[in-house]
Amino acid sequence: MPKLEYLNLPEVIDRQAREKLGIILATETINRMIDLFPPHERGQVRTMLTGTLKGIVGQRLVQTNDGEGRATAWRP
């Protein structure tokens, strides 16, 4: 095992731990965003943000025609 001063954090922490840390940081970030609003508006903000995030997470990505990237799939 390398000496402590040479450790690279992403190599030491396994993928699951990094994912869990990311979820915790994302949750804290969302809570901080909601806390920016006055207390009487936070319920409405939370509801609006929930709907927006569901829409983003629920998007289906498909490969672009040129094969260089991905784009959201949608129906007209």
The residue extents of the domains of the chain are: 9-72
Does the pLDDT of residue 8 top 60, yes or no?
A: no
| pLDDT tens-place string over residues 23-49 | 777 788 888 889 999 999 999 999 999
Q: What is the pTM of this model?
A: 0.53
Does the pLDDT of residue 6 top 60, yes or no?
A: no
Give me the percent of the chain exceeding a pLDDT of 70: 71
Between residues 52 and 22, which one has the greater pLDDT? 52
Dihedral of alpha carbons 52, 55, 61, 65, sign: negative
Q: Left (φ > 0), alpha (ψ -120 to 50) or beta: where does 64 sit? A: beta
